[in-house]
A and B are shown apart, each in its own frame.
Chain A
Amino acid sequence: MPAGLYRALLTVVGAIAAIVLAIVISSVAIIAAGASPEAAFAAFFDFGETERAVVNGIVTMLNRAVPLFIAGLAVAVGFRMNLFNIGVEGQYRIAAVCAAYVGSTFAAPAWIQIPVIIVVAMAVGGFYALIPAVMKVTRGVNEVIATIMLNYIAINLAAFLVRGPFTGERAKGVLTTTTPTLPESAWFPNLNVLFEMFGLPAPRGGGLWGFLLVAVLLGIGLWVVLERTRFGFEVKASGLNASAALASGVSPKKMVISAMVLSGAIAGLIGMPEILGDKHSFGSNFTPGLGFLGIAVALLGRNKPAGIAVAALLFGFLDRAQGPLQFANVPPSVIMIMQGTIVLLVVIANEITSRIALRREERRAAQQLGRNTPVEVAA
């Protein structure tokens, strides 16, 4: 079996074992909460009875997975070189509020309007990530601490902006404040046509976010950059062995800056599906916490785009069950317990499986060499 396939299989087996174990642990939590585990797990797979309900369930799951996937990618860029960008949370919020406001100030054809909004989001996110990067390379400030602090600033700054300078008109009886609504040319088309193709009813609300396609392209693009380009090689080298990278002429300062800015720019996109595809503004009820969840998603996906996609779908799948769980009389916080245990167990499983894979590689090399050049050992 080729080493790559073996490693992939081992990873899958490890992940499945971790998920099974997580189900067992969550069952204990569910029983402790006084509910029945069967009812809870049935709720996860209960997408409803009508076709429309099933479609709605799937769309909820995918729509949740899209920003989580982007957040996972953003975190993974830093993680690949042992750079812990905990600031994705702040970066995406500040980027979202700025992009939503800028987008609302002008109206242009969609092919200009939407790219401009996206570019603004990426620029703001990238710039906000540049701050901790500069602090790190010039003064040695630990990026974990800097980004956590900058999160507080960003979250509160975004809240201020949406109430203050960037605020839009508030309709009567509405409690949330938002930025001005985007012109229709900034509305990202949905993908409901996919369901219609199969003769299924269209989901309600904003439908399946068209930004899904952008996310998929982003994932592929990032894979190409990380796995095939010189920049990706330098990221990998810095992550595997920073001192060897330094001795090989990879400038750690340049790498910290560029990886951080790339991470922040991707983080800037996290809010885009919701703003362009659904709410068409940034409001005080904008989905929070995506950046922090992105850390878990990246860990779960082993910092690889394909793995992150699976992890994001898993999180989307679990999050969708919020409603059905309540109907089944199970506290929905079970979901968070499950997510937490899965992440922890998968991290452990990853560590174990990668050790097994490395050891196997060593053994294989030793064996093959043993065949080619018999070691002269006196019996």
Chain B
Amino acid sequence: MNADTLAAVQPAVELEGITKRFPGVVANHDIRITVEPGTVHAIVGENGAGKSTLMKILYGMQKPDEGTIKVNGVEVAFRTPSDAINAGIGMVHQHFMLADNFTVLENIVLGAEPKKGGRLDAAGARARISELAAGHGLRVDPDRLVEDLGVGDRQRVEILKVLYRGARILILDEPTAVLVPQEVDELFDNLRELKAEGLTVIFISHKLDEVLSIADAITVIRRGTTVASVDPAEVTARQLAELMVGSELPTPETRESTVTDETALKVSGLTMEADGFRPVPKGTSIPLYVERLRAEGRRLLLDDVSFEIHRGEILGIAGVEGNGQSELIEAIMGMRPVHGDISLDGADISTWSTLKRRESGIGYIPEDRHRQGLLLEASLWENRVLGHQTRPPARKGIWVNRRSSRADTERIVKDYDVRTPSVDTLALALSGGNQQKLIVGREMSGEPKFLIAAHPTRGVDVGAQAAIWDHLRNARAAGLAVLLISADLDELIGLSDTLRVIYGGRLVASLDPCDVTPERLGGYMTGAITSTEET
């Protein structure tokens, strides 16, 4: 009956009846997972299913309200992450926690510096790191600055950092979210190597193909509880997905084209210097100036970006994060000065303020809703006013029109299915999906002509994701022009009418979403494929 009496080895990690009550997000409820040592154990679940909370509990960042955790057969109660580290558990976070201006070596030893007579023992550290790196096939150059490293290298540094602290059990939180397909393969090779060394890897993901290719065992989490433990050899991606979602899967497919020939937004020759905007010298034209910048070898964040979006069209921009997407958005929104022309409905808006651009019909779903989209400590109706403070229904002369703002927020709550007790609730009390639905509802009000949707479904649950896709499709059918920027390649391919790839600040490829695979897209995104193909 008891697995312990049968198995010769103790499970590396055993979670029994873990429950965590937590306001605003899906709590963990009666979680049961057994991870065998020397395996890659995947924990899959939709965004918001409670995977991250569970991992925070296992890593000592949060305490469970109920349940027990056993590591190598011994019951433990972690109070801080250092307790977890002492027990041999290490965590590689989804967002890297590295100091950019430090070298790889310095980052790895940071917080656990080997000392020799009160000074950093760099030689000793280097020897250990090389040993670890060679032993696990994690190639890095210990003396390079982290800021010069690519995403894949940074991840290896994070893994080494954890190994350096003596971890035998590694938690990887959505490690592939920031990687392109080629880098994912490399990561998986590393993980197999670690497994061969007898380490245990807990791999959190919602990308099923990846999970099936790497995991030895899979536990599915839905709505905060473990719903199934399956053997990857015996399930298909489809079955896993249905376990995860608990119902039919939504797809981001757009149906028939609604693209018109009326141009809504046109940008031409957008160029942005990396070291601060400088006005074009008098007597020089912009192209000549940009030519000169290039000749001087200046780094450009945006390099001659031009495109048109028609009414009823969704233009998708694919790219690895940090290749100019944020700069492009900020340039279009007028938040950052840029060379080149931007016009909306034929009117040149290049010199307009952000406010005027918004007033003239640009909506903006920001990539980071907490940073750019919400006033977390303000009520929902005040968040409705945000960005619309100069327009009805939010404004009445010099006053904020509280009554009609509230009423219009009620409308958004109803139409966009924002789950909230009232419109006076503070925005921070809502779950991520509901916050995002509120933002989508707000940006769609006031009949925008053009919408920037940056990662519109990032970190929202599957129900909200489907709803947001529906809203985008409906708005597109009603003639809205949309610039879609996303890291979710399925979302991009499924929703877009036209697909462009941005790499190093340049639009390097124009692809037809009907016949492109995520792998090929990944090739363009990393610069592995360079030839431009026109469709």
A interface with B by C-beta (< 8 Å)? 3, 228-234, 236-237, 240-241, 243-251, 358-359, 361-366, 368-369, 372-373, 375-379
Contacts and interface: CB of A to CB of B under 8 A. Distances in A.
B426 interface: yes
Interface string B354-393: 1111110000101000011111111000100111011000
A234 B382 CA distance: 11
A243 B395 contact: no
27 contacts: A233-B385, A236-B378, A237-B375, A237-B389, A240-B376, A241-B376, A244-B373, A245-B386, A246-B372, A247-B335, A247-B354, A249-B354, A249-B356, A251-B354, A358-B377, A358-B426, A362-B23, A362-B428, A365-B24, A365-B420, A366-B23, A366-B24, A372-B419, A375-B223, A377-B224, A378-B227, A379-B30
Contact of A247 (B29, B333, B428): B333
B23 A229 contact: no
A113 B437 CA distance: 57
Contact of B23 (A233, A248, A365): A365
A364 B23 CA distance: 8
A237 B421 contact: no
A358 B429 CA distance: 8
A361 B224 CA distance: 22
B364 A247 contact: yes
Nearest to B333: A247
Interface in B192-232: 223-225, 227
A183 B80 CA distance: 71
Interface residues on B, range: 35 or more
B430 interface: yes
Contacts of A230: 389-390, 395, 398-400
A371 B209 CA distance: 37
Contact of B398 (A231, A240, A364): A231
B353 interface: yes
B450 to A, nearest CB: 15
A236 B358 CA distance: 20
Given A228-B399, A247-B354, A249-B354, A365 B373 contact: no
Contacts of B131: none
Contacts of B225: 377-378
Contacts of B389: 230, 233-234, 237, 248-250
B424 interface: yes
Interface in B292-324: none
A364 B420 CA distance: 10
B421 A240 contact: no
A93 to B, nearest CB: 32
Given A229-B400, A358-B377, A365 B421 contact: yes
B429 A361 contact: yes
A233 B375 CA distance: 11
A353 to B, nearest CB: 14
9 pairs of A and B residues whose beta carbons are closest in the complex:
A249-B355, A365-B429, A248-B387, A362-B23, A368-B421, A366-B23, A247-B372, A249-B354, A240-B375
A230 B23 CA distance: 32
Contacts of B378: 236-237, 240
Contacts of B364: 247
Nearest to A379: B30
Given A247-B354, A248-B387, A241 B382 contact: no
B451 to A, nearest CB: 14
